C-alpha cells in the first residue's frame, strides 16, 4: 500500500511536470514562468512580469469565444473583459491550468514589460518665447496646418511656439481651408499629461481633454473634474512647489513629461491636430518593476475605443511603447487584439517602430544543411539575468548548442519540455517549444540566471547546426536594449527585424523616424524584415516622420524651457495627428465616410515621399516613405 501511494505521488508529480511543459493552450514563456520557483522568478524580470508577490496571483491575457460567465461563476478569478473577445484575468497558478482547459478559452499568454521608444532627450532654457525656425533640407521648424502643404516638410524643429491655427471652418486670406482635427478624438497612451498646459486648453481656459484614465490610481476623470483641478490655486508648471501628495492628486500627473511632449506634437494647440478633442490614458506599472505591461496597454486601448463609441467620433490612438518578446510576425495576443481593434471601429492606431536598429539586440540569418553558424553574445558585468529567444520554422531541424564563456556547452534537444542545468557558473532554464495552433514558428527559449550575485560575464555563444533544413531562416532576439547593461549585446548584430512589438501588428500604422534637417533615415529607427518581398502589403514600417532633435517648448515659472527629444516616440505623434486630420477631412467633413483603418493607412502610404537617395519603396528601412498629408488627400 505504501509503495502504491509512493508510486501514485510520483505519478502525480510527473504528470504535473508534463502539463507545465506540454499545455499548448498556454504560450511557452507562461509555461516556463508557471513552472519556475519563487527564487527563479525573483531572479528574472521577464519571468516574473504579471506575478503579484503579495498574494501569489498571476495576471494573464486570454482570447475566448462565446462568454466567460461560467469561469466567473466557477473559479476564484478577477475578470476584466475587453472588446473583441479578449480578457485580462487575475488568478492563482493552479486555476490557470483549469481555466485553460475550458472549451471557450482559445489561448493564454502572460503580460510582458513595455519600454519607451525614446532615444535621448535634453533640456535648455531659452530667453525668448519663440525660437526662429532655421531652414533645412526638409523645410522650416513650424507645423503647417495648411492641408495643401506637407506636414513632413514643416516639422523639422520647434513644436509649441505658442501660435494657434485656423479651425475647421477657418478660411485663410488665400482662400484655403485648414484642417485642425476638429470633430475627431486624439488619444494618447503614455506617462500622463500636464493638464495645466495651455497646449490642451480652450480659449476660455477650460480643458480640451474629454477624459483621463489614470491606471496608476485606477481612477477616471471627466472634463469637469479636470477643470476643477485647473481652477485650483497652485504651481501649475513644474511641481517643484507642490508636495508629493498633491502631485499624486493631479489627474494623470506626468512627472517625466514624456506623455505631455508626445501630446503637444499630436494634438497640442501648436501641434498637428490642434483642435481635436483629447483622451489620455496614463499607463500603470508592473507589480515588480517600473515598466508598464502589455495588459495595461490592452486595457488602455479598450477604454479609448469604448469612449470613442460613446461619443460616436473617430479616434486616432498614439502608442510609444514596444518590446522584443515574440516572433515579430504578428502572432502575440497583443498584436491580434490591436488588429481586431483597428478593424472593429472608426480608428487609426499609430505605433512607433522602436529604436533598436542600431542596438545589439538581434541577429538573423539563413542556415543550410551541414552548415554551422555561431552567434556570439557579450554579457557585461553585473547582469542579473538575460533572456535569449531563437525563432525558426518548425520543419527545419537545427541543433542548438549553448556555450558558456569557459567553453562548457549544452545541446538543447527536448521539444516541449523545460530543462534546468548549470553552465559555466550560471543557472540556465531552457525550453525547445512546439508550434501552437496559432503560430507555425518554433521558439527555443533560454534564460540565464544568476548563481550567486550575477550571471557569468564574458562571451556566450549560440551554435546552430543545420541537420535537416528546408528553409533555414532563423532570428535571435535579446530583450529591449534599455533593460540590458551597456556591455551586454550581440557581438555582430543585424539591424533588420528590429521593429518592436506591437508595431509589427498588421492592422496598426507602424512609424519610423528620419532626420528632417538632413532628410536622412534615422539609424536607430526599427527596421522590418530583409526577407519580405517588397511587393507585398506586409512591409513594415509603414511610414516615416521627423524623429531627430525635435524641440518642444514649455512654459514654467522660471521661464521658457525647450526640450530637444529624439526617438520614434516623437515621430509617432506626427502621424497620429495626421491621421486625425485625414479622419476630419474624410468622416467629419463628409469627403469619405470610410477614412479609417486600412483605408487611412493606404492613403498615408500613397502620399508618402521618398527620402533622398532611396531608389525603391516600399522597403524595410524607410517603408513607403516620409509623411506627406498634402499628397495623401489629393
Tell me: the pLDDT tens digits for 587-612? 999 999 999 999 999 999 999 999 99
Quick one: pLDDT at residue 485? 93
Dihedral, 431, 434, 435, 436 alpha carbons, nearest 10:
-100
For 1, 10, 56, 97, the CA distances from 14, given in Å and listed in that order, are 20, 6, 23, 15
How many CA within 13 A on the CB side of residue 454? 11
Least Cα distance to 543 among 518, 502, 513 occurs for: 513
Residues 575-606: b if buried by 16+ CB within 10 A, e if exposed: bbbbbbbbbbbbbbeeebeebbbeebbebbbe
Q: Alpha-carbon distance 252 to 259, whole Å?
A: 10
Q: Alpha-carbon distance 317 to 311, whole Å?
A: 15
Q: Alpha-carbon distance 612 to 129, whole Å?
A: 33
Query: Does position 118 have pLDDT exceeding 50, yes or no?
Result: yes
Least Cα distance to 151 among 563, 545, 634, 568 occurs for: 545
Query: Does position 323 have pLDDT exceeding 70, yes or no?
Result: yes
Query: Does position 146 have pLDDT exceeding 60, yes or no?
Result: no
Q: Alpha-carbon distance 458 to 438, whole Å?
A: 37
Reported as a single tens digit per residue, the pLDDT across 234-293 is 544 444 445 555 566 899 999 889 999 999 999 999 999 999 999 999 998 765 556 899
Query: Does position 349 have pLDDT exceeding 80, yes or no?
Result: yes
CA angle 28-34-35, nearest 5°?
A: 90
Q: Alpha-carbon distance 335 to 56, whole Å?
A: 28
Q: Alpha-carbon distance 102 to 100, whole Å?
A: 6
Q: Alpha-carbon distance 491 to 375, whole Å?
A: 8
Reported as a single tens digit per residue, the pLDDT across 166-191 is 333 333 444 446 899 999 999 999 99
Q: Alpha-carbon distance 459 to 405, whole Å?
A: 5
Q: Spell out the domain ranges in the chain.
A: 2-35+51-109, 120-357+501-632, 362-490
Query: Does position 631 have pLDDT exceeding 60, yes or no?
Result: yes
Q: Is the CA virtual torsion 185, 189, 193, 195 positive or negative?
A: positive
User: Which element (helix H / strand E) includes 331?
Assistant: none
Q: Alpha-carbon distance 525 to 503, whole Å?
A: 12
DSSP string, 446-476: EEEE-SSSSPPPEEEEEEEEEEE-SS-EEEE
Q: Alpha-carbon distance 159 to 269, whole Å?
A: 10
CATH number of 2-35+51-109: 3.30.70
Least Cα distance to 601 among 498, 531, 503, 454 occurs for: 503
Query: Does position 84 have pLDDT exceeding 80, yes or no?
Result: yes
**Is this structure's pTM higher than 0.95?**
no
Least Cα distance to 146 among 272, 267, 318, 314 occurs for: 272
CATH number of 362-490: 2.60.120.1290
Domain 2-35+51-109 matches domain 362-490 at the CATH topology level: no
Quick one: pLDDT at residue 515? 96
User: Which element (helix H / strand E) includes 324?
Assistant: none
Query: Does position 1 have pLDDT exceeding 80, yes or no?
Result: no
Quick one: pLDDT at residue 161? 39
Kindly indicate whether the domain formed by 120-357+501-632 is annotated with CATH number 3.40.50.200: yes
Least Cα distance to 189 among 278, 255, 63 occurs for: 278
> Which SS3 state, helix, strand or coil, does residue 594 take?
coil
Reported as a single tens digit per residue, the pLDDT across 517-554 is 999 999 999 999 987 544 444 789 999 999 999 999 87
Q: Alpha-carbon distance 228 to 206, whole Å?
A: 9
Omega before 12 within 30 of 0, i.e. cis: no
Query: Does position 124 have pLDDT exceeding 80, yes or no?
Result: no
User: Which element (helix H / strand E) includes 35?
Assistant: helix 28-35
Strands 57-64 and 78-82: unpaired
Q: Alpha-carbon distance 216 to 176, whole Å?
A: 44
Quick one: pLDDT at residue 243? 52
Flag the least confident range among 6-20, 75-89, 168-182.
6-20
Flag the least confident range among 159-163, 376-380, 506-510.
159-163
Query: Does position 328 have pLDDT exceeding 90, yes or no?
Result: yes
Indicate the pLDDT class of residue 157, thresholds 50, 70 and 90: very low
Q: Alpha-carbon distance 506 to 84, whole Å?
A: 16
Reported as a single tens digit per residue, the pLDDT across 438-479 is 788 999 999 999 988 899 999 999 999 999 999 999 999 999
Query: Does position 494 have pLDDT exceeding 60, yes or no?
Result: yes
Residues 6+ apart with CB under 8 A from 376: 459, 460, 461, 490, 491, 492
Q: For 69-201, where are the alpha helices, taking DSSP H only? A: 69-74, 93-100
- Average pLDDT along the chain: 85
> Which SS3 state, helix, strand or coil, does residue 62 take?
strand
More confident residue, 494 or 116: 494
Query: Does position 206 have pLDDT exceeding 90, yes or no?
Result: yes
Quick one: pLDDT at residue 448? 97
Reported as a single tens digit per residue, the pLDDT across 551-575 is 998 777 777 788 899 999 999 999 9
Reported as a single tens digit per residue, the pLDDT across 272-288 is 999 999 999 999 876 55
Indicate the pLDDT class of residue 437, thresholds 50, 70 and 90: confident
Indicate the pLDDT class of residue 415, thresholds 50, 70 and 90: confident
Omega before 618 within 30 of 0, i.e. cis: yes
Quick one: pLDDT at residue 604? 97
Least Cα distance to 200 among 173, 229, 171 occurs for: 229
Edge-first strand order for the sheet with 473-477 is 362-366, 473-477, 385-393, 441-449, 426-432, 418-423
Amino acid at each position: 500500500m505504501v509503495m502504491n501511494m509512493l508510486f501514485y505521488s510520483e505519478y502525480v508529480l510527473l504528470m504535473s511536470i508534463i502539463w507545465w511543459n506540454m499545455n499548448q493552450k498556454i504560450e511557452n514563456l507562461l509555461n516556463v514562468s508557471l513552472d519556475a520557483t519563487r527564487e527563479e522568478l525573483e531572479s528574472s524580470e521577464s519571468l516574473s512580469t504579471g506575478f503579484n508577490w503579495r498574494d501569489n496571483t498571476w495576471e494573464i491575457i486570454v482570447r475566448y469565444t462565446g462568454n466567460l460567465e461560467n469561469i466567473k461563476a466557477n473559479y476564484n478569478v478577477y475578470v476584466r473583459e475587453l472588446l473583441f473577445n479578449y480578457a485580462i484575468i487575475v488568478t492563482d497558478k493552479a486555476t490557470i491550468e483549469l481555466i485553460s482547459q475550458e472549451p471557450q478559452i482559445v489561448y493564454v499568454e502572460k503580460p510582458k514589460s513595455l519600454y519607451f521608444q525614446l532615444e535621448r532627450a535634453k533640456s535648455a532654457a531659452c530667453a525668448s518665447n519663440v525660437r526662429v525656425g532655421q531652414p533645412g533640407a526638409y523645410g522650416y521648424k513650424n507645423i503647417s496646418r495648411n492641408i495643401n502643404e506637407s506636414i513632413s516638410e514643416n516639422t523639422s524643429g520647434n513644436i509649441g511656439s505658442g501660435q494657434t491655427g485656423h479651425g475647421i471652418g477657418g478660411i485663410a486670406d488665400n482662400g484655403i481651408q485648414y484642417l485642425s482635427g476638429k470633430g475627431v478624438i486624439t488619444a494618447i497612451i503614455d506617462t500622463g499629461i500636464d493638464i495645466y498646459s495651455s497646449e490642451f486648453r480652450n480659449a476660455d481656459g477650460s480643458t480640451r481633454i474629454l477624459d483621463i484614465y489614470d491606471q496608476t490610481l485606477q481612477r477616471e476623470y471627466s472634463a469637469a473634474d479636470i477643470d476643477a483641478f485647473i481652477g485650483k490655486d497652485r504651481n501649475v508648471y513644474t511641481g517643484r512647489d507642490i508636495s508629493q501628495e498633491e502631485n499624486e492628486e493631479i489627474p494623470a500627473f506626468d512627472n517625466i513629461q514624456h506623455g505631455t511632449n508626445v501630446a503637444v506634437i499630436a494634438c497640442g494647440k501648436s501641434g498637428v491636430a490642434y483642435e481635436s478633442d483629447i483622451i489620455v490614458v496614463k499607463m500603470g506599472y508592473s507589480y515588480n518593476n517600473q515598466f508598464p505591461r502589455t495588459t495595461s496597454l490592452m486595457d488602455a486601448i479598450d477604454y479609448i475605443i469604448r469612449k470613442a463609441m460613446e461619443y460616436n467620433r473617430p479616434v486616432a490612438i498614439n502608442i510609444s511603447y514596444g518590446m522584443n518578446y515574440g516572433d515579430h510576425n504578428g502572432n502575440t495576443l497583443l498584436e491580434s487584439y490591436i488588429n481586431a481593434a483597428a478593424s472593429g471601429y472608426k480608428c487609426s492606431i499609430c505605433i512607433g517602430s522602436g529604436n533598436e536598429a542600431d542596438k545589439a539586440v538581434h541577429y538573423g540569418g539563413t542556415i543550410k544543411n551541414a552548415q554551422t553558424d555561431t552567434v556570439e553574445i557579450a554579457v557585461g558585468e553585473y547582469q542579473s539575468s538575460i533572456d535569449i529567444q531563437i525563432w525558426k520554422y518548425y520543419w527545419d531541424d537545427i541543433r542548438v548548442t549553448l556555450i558558456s564563456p569557459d567553453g562548457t556547452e549544452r545541446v538543447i534537444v527536448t521539444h516541449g519540455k523545460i530543462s534546468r542545468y548549470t553552465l559555466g557558473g550560471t543557472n540556465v532554464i531552457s525550453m525547445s517549444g512546439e508550434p501552437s495552433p496559432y503560430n507555425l514558428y518554433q521558439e527555443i527559449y533560454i534564460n540565464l540566471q544568476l548563481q550567486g550575485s550575477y550571471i557569468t560575464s564574458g562571451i556566450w555563444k549560440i551554435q546552430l547546426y543545420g541537420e535537416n533544413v528546408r528553409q533555414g531562416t532563423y532570428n535571435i532576439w535579446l530583450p529591449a536594449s534599455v533593460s540590458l547593461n551597456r556591455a551586454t549585446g550581440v557581438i555582430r548584430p543585424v539591424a533588420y527585424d528590429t521593429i518592436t512589438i506591437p508595431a509589427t501588428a498588421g492592422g496598426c500604422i507602424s512609424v519610423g523616424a528620419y532626420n528632417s534637417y538632413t532628410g536622412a533615415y534615422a539609424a536607430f529607427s526599427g527596421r522590418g524584415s530583409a526577407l519580405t518581398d517588397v511587393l507585398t502589403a506586409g512591409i513594415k514600417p509603414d511610414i516615416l516622420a521627423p524623429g531627430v532633435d525635435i524641440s518642444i517648448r514649455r512654459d514654467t515659472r522660471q521661464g521658457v524651457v525647450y526640450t530637444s527629444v529624439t526617438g520614434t516616440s516623437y515621430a509617432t505623434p506626427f502621424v497620429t495627428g495626421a491621421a486625425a486630420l485625414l479622419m476630419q477631412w474624410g468622416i467629419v467633413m463628409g469627403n469619405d465616410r470610410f477614412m479609417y483603418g486600412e483605408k487611412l493607412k493606404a492613403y498615408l502610404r500613397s502620399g508618402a515621399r521618398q527620402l533622398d537617395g532611396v531608389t525603391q519603396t516600399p522597403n524595410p528601412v524607410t517603408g513607403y516613405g516620409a509623411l506627406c498629408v498634402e499628397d495623401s488627400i489629393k
